[in-house]
Amino acid sequence: MAETPGDLFLPRLLPPQEFFAEGNRGCQGCGAALVMRQVLKAAGPDTIVCNATGCMEIISSPYPETAWRIPWIHVAFENAAAVAAGVESGIKVLRRKGRYHDRRINVVAVAGDGGTADIGLQALSGALERYHDFTYVCYDNEAYMNTGIQRSSSTPYGASTTTSPSGRESIGQKTQKKNLPMIVAAHEIPYLATACPSFPLDLMDKARRAFQTVGPTYLHILAPCPTGWRHASDLAIEMGRLAVETGAFPLYEVVDGKLKLSMKMETRKPIIDYLKPQGRFRHLKEDDIKEIQRRVDENYEKLLRRAELDEGG
Amino acid sequence: MAEDKPSWKEYPMAATIHSPGSATDQNTGDWKSMRPVRDSSKCDKCGICWIFCPDAALYMTEEGFYEVDLYHCKGCGICAHECRKEAITMVEEGE
């Protein structure tokens, strides 16, 4: 993890090329732009990106400019995975006809949490089931940020958004965050991982492993969003770190069906540390926070038990 | 303004873009109200600011320091917040 002293100087060893260009129109402190920058550093130049509608498409390609330095195609909200599957199949056919080189190409589908958990779920499920050789990257900023912070099924319990506003009668988002990585894990794909850009080396290790694995792979990456989460822009990295350290967003990998926690925490920080700086949780009362703490603990215990089971078996 | 822009007939078919990374031309640096300033005597060149910058607005100089590209820096303050040596401070623009 990036926190250990040995890792301190490691950023200097990372590839200096930027495939996601400076001058993109992301908000100040945009976590999603950072996710893309780090993932593409791990991917290298032999990469084709299929990008669903969402923040990443809006901020990267205000026509006639583009922030991408690799082949990139923008597709509709629901079919990033389907297009990536098509690209992968197309390359396979061209290779069979001898019209394409033999270097490994990373076919990457990129979508936000709305484009993955809500709108693109069936295309994703189909592509995983057909076992295409591609990587799906979901940057999870926990709402439809680019259209004005509407709730998605990935919005956590208690968060206030413009379509689940908090008030006298409402706590904000009433339902639990959809556990998307586990839905994807149920497809029994060879590799999936959750990551956060606050731990860049961990994220890039996981991304590299996903790209090198043959078969469908999935990365679920938390992308702090100062605009939608309503915190100061310089706290973006801090928020990601707190999400991991409180257990709100645990980091793990599922390799061939076996779950492994990336960071086993005996004691976790109280969830209030993570909720307090964010404006979307400002309205929560003590009882609500207790309830959120209970849910986080429950989910984390469940993960710990599963990890123990998988390691033993 | 309108006459400066090419007509739609001159744009490539299907809205393809033939200049990768052309967003670099955009001056996103004028968004900021605070500007990062590095104190080289405190900096230990670890590169944490560089890997955490969402806008890739830092580049390595010959001496090994990470210099801020003020043309693209949006002034979010992440580098100043994450710097372990507290070598970067945010200064109000215009000062």
Beta pairing partners, A139: A112, A221
The sign of the torsion formed by the CA atoms of A64, A69, A70, A74 equals negative
Half-sphere exposure of B61 (CA within 13 A, CB side): 9
pLDDT category at A263 given cuts 50, 70, 90 is confident
Interface size A-B, in CB pairs within 8 Å, comes to: 126
Contacts of A62 in chain B (CB under 8 A): 23
Q: Say if B16 falls within a structural domain.
A: no
Q: Say if B18 falls within a structural domain.
A: no
Q: Give the model confidence (pLDDT) of A162-221 as tens digits.
A: 999 999 999 999 999 999 999 999 999 999 999 999 999 999 999 999 999 999 999 999
- Rounded to whole angstroms, how far apart are CA atoms A299 and A81? 28
pLDDT score of A13 = 84
How many Å is the Cα radius of gyration of chain B?
Answer: 18
Tokens of residue A262, six digits: 């990336």
Q: Say if B19 falls within a structural domain.
A: no
CATH number at residue B89: 3.30.70.20
Q: Say if B94 falls within a structural domain.
A: yes
The H or E element containing residue A55 is helix A55-60
**Residue among B19, B48, B55 whose CB faces A22 most closely:** B55
DSSP-derived letter for residue A4 is S
Q: Say if B6 falls within a structural domain.
A: no
Whether the pLDDT of residue A110 is over 60: the answer is yes
Whether the pLDDT of residue B95 is over 90: the answer is no
Whether the pLDDT of residue A63 is over 90: the answer is no
pLDDT score of A6 = 45
CA A271 to chain centre: 20
The answer to whether A68 touches A44, Cβ cutoff 8 Å, is no
Q: How many domains does chain A have?
A: 1
pLDDT category at A5 given cuts 50, 70, 90 is very low
pLDDT category at A64 given cuts 50, 70, 90 is confident
Whether the pLDDT of residue A4 is over 70: the answer is no
Whether the pLDDT of residue A313 is over 60: the answer is no
pLDDT category at B1 given cuts 50, 70, 90 is low
Q: Which residue from B minimizes the CA distance to A200?
A: B51
**Least confident range of A281-285, B13-17, B39-43:** B13-17
Q: How far is CA B60 from CA B49, B56, B73, B85, in A?
A: 11, 11, 15, 18
Q: How far is CA A88 from CA A49, A94, A119, B76, in A?
A: 11, 10, 22, 38
- Rounded to whole angstroms, how far apart are CA atoms A192 and A209? 9
DSSP-derived letter for residue B50 is H
Q: Give the model confidence (pLDDT) of A65-93 as tens digits.
A: 999 999 999 999 999 999 999 999 999 99
Domain assignment of residue A299, given as a range: 5-312
CATH number at residue A266: 3.40.50.970
Gap between the terminal Cα atoms of chain B: 33
Whether the pLDDT of residue A156 is over 50: the answer is yes
Q: Give the model confidence (pLDDT) of A274-303 as tens digits.
A: 999 999 999 999 999 999 999 999 999 999
Q: ipTM value of the model?
A: 0.90
Q: Which residue from B minimizes the CA distance to A196?
A: B52
Q: Say if B23 falls within a structural domain.
A: no
Phi–psi pair at A112, nearest 5 degrees: -80, -175
The whole-model pTM stands at 0.92
Beta-carbon count within 10 A of A278 CB = 20
Q: Give the model confidence (pLDDT) of A121-139 as tens digits.
A: 999 999 999 999 999 999 9
pLDDT category at B74 given cuts 50, 70, 90 is very high
Chain A contact probe: residue of B48, B67, B73, B86 with most A CBs at under 10 A: B48
Instruction: Provide mean pLDDT across the span B47-52.
Output: 92
Round the average pLDDT of chain B to a whole number and report it. 89
Beta strands per DSSP E along A21-99: 47-51, 72-74
A208 Cβ contact list (under 8 Å, min separation 6): A42
Phi–psi pair at A39, nearest 5 degrees: -65, -40
What percent of chain A is predicted at pLDDT more than 90? 89
Q: Say if B2 falls within a structural domain.
A: no
Q: How many domains does chain B have?
A: 1
Round the average pLDDT of chain A to a whole number and report it. 93
Instruction: Tell which residue, A98, A125, A96, has the closest CA to residue A109.
Output: A125
pLDDT score of A2 = 45
Dihedral, CA of residue B49, residue B55, residue B57 and residue B59, to nearest 10: 70
Whether the pLDDT of residue B15 is over 80: the answer is yes
What's the gap in Å between the CA of B57 and the closest CA on chain A?
A: 6
Q: Say if B83 falls within a structural domain.
A: yes
The answer to whether A135 touches A219, Cβ cutoff 8 Å, is yes
Instruction: Provide mean pLDDT across the span B25-41.
Output: 92
Whether the pLDDT of residue A17 is over 80: the answer is yes
Domain assignment of residue B40, given as a range: 34-95
Q: Which residue from B minimizes the CA distance to A235?
A: B78
The residue written with tokens 């806008």 in the block is B55
The answer to whether A68 touches A49, Cβ cutoff 8 Å, is yes
